[in-house]
Amino acid sequence: MDDITHTVARALHEVGEAALKYGDRPLMQLVSKFFNTLLRATINRGEVRGGYDTLYEYELLAESALQREPTYAIQIAERLAYYGEAAGGRLHWMAAASAHDLRILAETNHRRQGNPEVTYRFIQILAGMVGHVAPRDPVLGRQLYKSVTTLGCYFHTVGEEETSDVVRAILREVPDTELARLEEELAAVDEPEFWEVTERWVNFDYMEPELRHALGPFLSDAKSDSRNRPP
């Protein structure tokens, strides 16, 4: 079923690309309905690989929508977070993939010089997801915090300190000991590709060298924030 699920998701992605090309909004919404239904089915059946791959195709469609239909890209991001949260209790890697995809959407929109309000909306969606998932599942929460940290380091590296501060605020309640563990684990990853064959290939914990250099400064400020928060 996993292979069938991914084949269907890839076909949906292609239909969605055509809908974007021709500005067919009713078709965009229909594509989303099928994506959402497919994600719900993978969660109900416990199909982590199928859900993981479906999220990937959905995120790629959102990337394509950034320039032409940013509102549609935001709608997809909201669904990524929703189904990531729904999967969190049973299918950890679907939730981790959702957080990673939200991070990628925020970075991609910034790189393409998209509307900053859209970038901020992606950050808000990621913050909401982390806020709902991390308190009830510390192990999964650590993985989500890694996506947040990588995103914050990206904005720090490109000189967007105000945006970096917004991302850092998501880590405000994280203890210093946990922040130190995040830094240690992220700094130790030097393989950009995951060690198993997947559709994505990417290793979620990998940070480009310039982002890794920003780990210390970014998390140092986060630790200061946690110490200075009111009791």
Structure tokens that stand for 27 in this block: 């078709």
CB contact at 8 A, 77 and 35: no
pLDDT tens digits for range 73-102: 999 999 999 999 998 767 778 888 999 999
**Gap between the terminal Cα atoms of the chain:** 50
H helix or E strand, kind and range, residue 124: helix 116-133
pLDDT tens digits for range 135-146: 888 888 999 999
How far is Cα 171 from Cα 154, in angstroms, rounded to an integer?
15
Using DSSP, state whether 202 is helix, strand or coil. Answer: strand
Which has more confidence, 125 or 6? Answer: 125
On the 0-12 / 13-18 / 19+ scale of CB atoms within 10 A, 187 is middle
pLDDT tens digits for range 14-67: 999 999 999 999 999 999 999 999 999 999 988 878 888 899 999 999 999 999
Give me the pLDDT at residue 231, please. 47
CB contact at 8 A, 125 and 144: no
Give me the pLDDT at residue 132, please. 92
Give me the pLDDT at residue 103, please. 96
Query: What average pLDDT does this structure show over 210-222?
Result: 89
Give percent of the chain above pLDDT 90: 68
Query: What average pLDDT does this structure show over 167-187?
Result: 93
Statement: residue 200 has pLDDT above 60:
no
Taken in order 101, 107, 108, 113, the sign of the CA dihedral is: positive
Give me the pLDDT at residue 1, please. 59
Give me the pLDDT at residue 213, please. 92
Statement: residue 230 has pLDDT above 50:
no
How far is C-alpha 43 from the geometric centre of its chain's CA atoms? 18
Give me the pLDDT at residue 199, please. 57
Give me the pLDDT at residue 229, please. 53
How far is Cα 157 from Cα 229, in angstroms, rounded to an integer?
25
How far is Cα 16 from Cα 61, in angstroms, rounded to an integer?
7
CB contact burial 135-144 (16+ within 10 A = b; e otherwise):
eeeeebbbbb
Give me the pLDDT at residue 192, please. 59
Kindly give, in sequence order, each residue whose CB lies less than 8 Å from that of residue 49, ignoring residues fewer than 6 positions away. Answer: 2, 6
Statement: residue 120 has pLDDT above 90:
yes
Residue of 123, 99, 100, 97 lying closest to 110 (CA atoms): 123
Lowest mean pLDDT across 44-53, 100-109, 218-227: 218-227
Give me the pLDDT at residue 197, please. 52
Statement: residue 228 has pLDDT above 80:
no
Task: Share the mean pLDDT of the chain.
Answer: 89
Statement: residue 112 has pLDDT above 80:
yes
